[in-house]
Amino acid sequence: MSDYRLEPATEDSLAISTAIVNQWEMDLDSQFEGLSEDELRMFIAGRADLVGRSLLLFAQGENAPQGFIGLLEDPARKKYWTQIAVIPGSGFMDVAVAEAIAHAKAINPTLNLQPNVNNLDHDQVKAWESRGFEKIQTSYAMKKSDLSTDYPSLPNGAVMRTLSSEEDWISMHAIQHDAFANHFGFVPRSLENFKDFRFDSESYDPQGIQILSINGEDVGYVESTDEIAHINKGYVHTIGVKHTHHKLGFGKILLQWAFAYAANKGFNGVELYVDIANKSGALQFYESAGMVPASAYSIYEKAGWSH
């Protein structure tokens, strides 16, 4: 007889699911500031075309869950994302990882399973690696706290505008596909899906999307959201610049614009994520802007994981 049971995670259990993740992450890293319910919601309720497939893990005979097995189905990328946490000291991490694999396999074994793990989470890393999963990519959470409310000066011929029309959406969508075509894990999405992903989130901030135009041509954009507003910080979701306009200082303008935007909203800092293997030198770019790396997260993968 098993010493645990599983139940589907629902919107009704969002608060307790978020609390489990925060307890686990804070036990790993005292500098962790806390996940919001909105950040975790997509693992339960889905977002745009993403499908939440998450479970709660209970010790047999107990009413309070001991673990959250976050599984998010991404049809466009043909993969699953994960967000797994257990109550510190419960000893359920290895079980949670095993059940995540079994759950993903039962839903659709043809999709790829790519767990995302805090590098400090040695128990979870061990659980995945013992099952043949290997690290394939690492990202840093970059932070900046000394913000100025002053927006950067724009060069001659440059205009920054707030997204406001269907034409702006089309332009931003095109810039994103051009800027990230060769980045790790990038998959083209339709314009409607691109929009739905933003609309289907409480953290979406339409005023936080700014498009940079040079002599009448849209060349880049920056997208800020309220994903971490609960810790009084702005989140830079995306900075994209067309390949034809790289190395011209436009990325710096967009980043500084995001800093000033966050400061003017009253936030005391800004965060974003960067792939440390990004060949464009993104890590060095953000460090040169005064951002410092904090936590690190890695993606794992195993060929034939469902066999």
Which CATH number belongs to the domain containing residue 285 in this structure? 3.40.630.30
Q: Are residues 213 and 290 in the same domain?
A: yes
Q: Are residues 34 and 168 in the same domain?
A: no
**Residue 253 exposed, middle or buried by CB count within 10 Å (0-12, 13-18, 19+):** buried
Q: Does any domain span residue 272?
A: yes
The structure's pTM equals 0.93
**pLDDT tens-place string over residues 9-27:** 999 999 999 999 999 999 9
Q: Which domain holds residue 207?
A: 144-295
Q: Are residues 46 and 93 in the same domain?
A: yes
Q: What is the pLDDT of residue 280?
A: 61
Q: Are residues 193 and 70 in the same domain?
A: no
Torsion of CA 24, 28, 34, 36, to 10 degrees: -40
CA 281 to chain centre: 20
Q: DSSP letters of 68-109?
A: EEEEEEETTTTEEEEEEEE-TTS--HHHHHHHHHHHHHHH-T
**pLDDT tens-place string over residues 128-158:** 999 999 999 999 999 999 999 999 999 999 9
Given 131, 162, 189, the domain boundary residue is: 131
Classify 34 in phi/psi space as left (phi over 0), alpha (psi -120 to 50) or beta.
Answer: left
Q: Are residues 272 and 151 in the same domain?
A: yes
SS3 40: helix
- Calculate Rg over the CA atoms of the chain: 20
What is the mean predicted confidence (pLDDT) over 202-225? 97
Q: Are residues 153 and 75 in the same domain?
A: no
Q: Are residues 158 and 208 in the same domain?
A: yes
**pLDDT tens-place string over residues 233-254:** 999 999 999 999 999 999 999 9
Given 108, 131, 154, the domain boundary residue is: 131
Domain count, the chain: 2
Q: Are residues 202 and 289 in the same domain?
A: yes
Q: Which two tokens stand for residue 217?
A: 């041509």
Given 76, 109, 131, the domain boundary residue is: 131
Q: Does any domain span residue 88?
A: yes
Q: What are phi and psi of 127, to 5 degrees?
A: -65, -40
Q: Does any domain span residue 280?
A: yes
Q: Which residue's structure tokens are 């005391």?
A: 268
Q: Does any domain span residue 139?
A: no
Enumerate the β-bridge partners of residue 140. 274, 296
Q: Are residues 176 and 96 in the same domain?
A: no
